[in-house]
Amino acid sequence: MTTKEGTFLVTHADEDSATLRDVADSQVLTLSENPGLDAGSVVEATVEPEPPMEVTYAVVEIADERTIPVETVDLAPTTRAKELAAEQSVGEVTTRERAGEGEIHVLTVPEERTDAAAEEVVDDEATRSRAARLGVDRVEVRTAAGVVSVRYLPD
């Protein structure tokens, strides 16, 4: 049996089972039993395939479980984010490393779609998965007309 150690986003959880997605390689793993995980949480765990078919997995160890909040805040994007947005076309995304830890993504969207785009970012599993891969503690979404700034931040 080959164990797999990594950071996983819990994409589905019910009383009987859970589904994990590895944030490094996007592999999806189905757990045959749910050891108490909640959908949306991030776990650092070791799992192993269950014999004889090895199509479902069992948790060997959970080193850490946490939730990464993703929320829209009532703050405008920074001056730098607005400058980046002004340099790109509608529909483009610019990614920049933050000084220190994390990243900033600036999306330029049609002005009338700003709020909807921000909601999509907040609801998208990929946002939480990226946050887990970056090792940050929270995600802050800021908006201005035609600009959505996604800040992946340490605590």
Contact status, residue 58 vs residue 47, Cβ threshold 8 Å: yes
pLDDT (0 to 100) of residue 72:
97
- pLDDT of 83 > 90? The answer is yes
pLDDT (0 to 100) of residue 94:
95
Domains and CATH numbers, the chain: 4-67 (2.40.50.140), 70-153 (no CATH)
| 111 DSSP 8-state letter | G
pLDDT (0 to 100) of residue 55:
93
Q: Where are the beta strands (DSSP E) in the chain?
A: 4-13, 18-22, 28-31, 41-49, 57-67, 70-72, 93-97, 103-108, 138-144, 147-153
Q: What is the pLDDT of residues 17-49, one digit of tens each?
A: 999 999 999 999 999 999 999 999 999 999 999
pLDDT (0 to 100) of residue 110:
96
Q: How many CB atoms lie within 10 A of CB 45?
A: 24
∠ CA 42-43-44, rounded to 5°: 135
Q: Exposure string (b/e) for 110-124, b if CB count within 10 Å is 16 or more?
A: eeeebeebbeebbee
pLDDT (0 to 100) of residue 99:
79
Q: What is the pLDDT of residues 44-78, one digit of tens each?
A: 999 999 999 999 999 999 999 999 999 999 999 99
Assign 138 to helix, strand or coil. Answer: strand
Q: What is the pLDDT of residues 86-134, one digit of tens each?
A: 999 999 999 999 877 899 999 999 999 999 999 999 999 999 999 999 9
For residues 103 and 149, give the distance between their C-alpha atoms in angstroms, rounded to a whole number: 10
| Percent over 90 (pLDDT), the chain | 93
| Percent over 70 (pLDDT), the chain | 99
pLDDT (0 to 100) of residue 1:
64
Count of H helices and E strands in the chain? 3, 10
